[in-house]
Structures are given as C-alpha cells and as structure tokens.
A and B are shown apart, each in its own frame.
Chain A
C-alpha cells in the first residue's frame, strides 16, 4: 500500500531534550516536506527536500533540522525543543516538486513541556 508513515504518532517531552520524528515513504517520491499545523495558523512548511541530499528551508525553519540521506526517509530533528514547538507535525511526499498529488503522513502530535 502506498503510504507515508511517521513515528512516533504522539510524543510528550521536556524542553531541551533532543528528539527525532521519522518519516518514510514507499512510493519512490523525490520530493518530501515537513509541515506544522497550529490552531489559527493553518499548515506552515518547515523544510522540504527536492531529492536526496537536497534540502531547503520553508516558512518556519527555526529550531528544526532535517536530513535526506536516502530517498525514502526524511527525518525531522529538534535539537533543543522548546514549548513553542508544541504542535501537530505532518510529513508529506510527492513524485516531484512539479507534480501535484501530495500524500500526507498521519501526523505526529508533539508536546514540549
């Protein structure tokens, strides 16, 4: 089944404790992206990757890192999480940046205390 998976689905952590949210897709997509969704602010793009070893900042990259060592995986790293990073995070992928159908993962609800 074609899908985007994220782990963990729920995470409660404390300020400053490094964490990684994994994202994997099985569709051989070149383009992958991370979004955060907050009430009243909608979906905002954090980082995106056009292909392996190619990443770029979205609208809200501060406090986040990403890597794209393999085509299928695009982890989101919070080196020193802060409470304002409490949010619902979505990973997404599509075949290429200029193709349209974008598939979203199920989401990761992160709480930073």
Chain B
C-alpha cells in the first residue's frame, strides 16, 4: 500500500530560525494535505496541494508539491514559539495516508 515518509522526526530550533519538513511517498499522490497538531490537541488542516509543482504560501509558511507528485515540503520562515507542534503530511482522498509527522520545538 501507499507509504508516506516524513523527515525529520524531530527538530528543535531557536526562535527566528527557519524550519523545513519533507514528505516523500512511495507512489504518485493525487494530492497532499498538511496538518498541524499542537501538544494535547487535535490535527488542524492547514492546506491542500493538488497540482504538480504547486507552491502555496500562508504568511510565514510555504508549501510545495513536487513535480512528480511524490514529495512535498513545508517551510516556516522565522519560527515563532506559536509554531510549536507536530506537522503531518497526508495523501489521498477517500483513504488518507498520513506521514508520522515532524515535531517542532521552538526555544525563545
């Protein structure tokens, strides 16, 4: 079945540093979704990418979908303490396969 790998598992940065998490699939993805889960909370939908090579921005967050639709990345510019949480990518429609997530810690 489809597998979605995410790296790194964990990253600790100083506030103001940039952060990137990468998502790779064993198969071509129809779409990629990104979620954020705060400690003790539930996943919150951030964005969906559908087109090959697509790039979307949400304030300090930049999301990219690879040309081959098998990889994606989330980049946060100048992290803030409010960015703390685990970021998940997920692919598919009716059956959604999640990566294991990247936990981001931000020190002030």
Q: A residues engaging B (CB < 8 A)?
A: 31, 33, 35, 40-45, 48, 50, 56, 58-59, 90, 92, 97-98, 100-107
In the complex, the chain A residue whose C-beta lies closest to that of B1 is A59
In the complex, the chain A residue whose C-beta lies closest to that of B31 is A100
**Which of B31, B41, B95, B98 interacts with A43 by CB under 8 Å?**
B98
In angstroms, Cα B33 to Cα A92, docked, is: 14
Complex contact B95–A101 (CB within 8 A):
no
In angstroms, Cα B99 to Cα A35, docked, is: 13
Q: B residues engaging A (CB < 8 A)?
A: 1, 31, 33, 41-45, 48, 88, 90, 93-101
Instruction: State the majority secondary structure of interface residues on B.
Output: loop
- Please name all residues of chain A whose beta carbon is closer than 8 Å to the beta carbon of B95 when the two chains form the complex: 45, 48, 58-59
- Please name all residues of chain A whose beta carbon is closer than 8 Å to the beta carbon of B99 when the two chains form the complex: 42
- Please name all residues of chain A whose beta carbon is closer than 8 Å to the beta carbon of B43 when the two chains form the complex: 43, 90, 92, 104
Complex contact A98–B100 (CB within 8 A):
no
Q: Nearest-CB distance from A90 to chain B (Å)?
A: 6
Complex contact A105–B42 (CB within 8 A):
yes
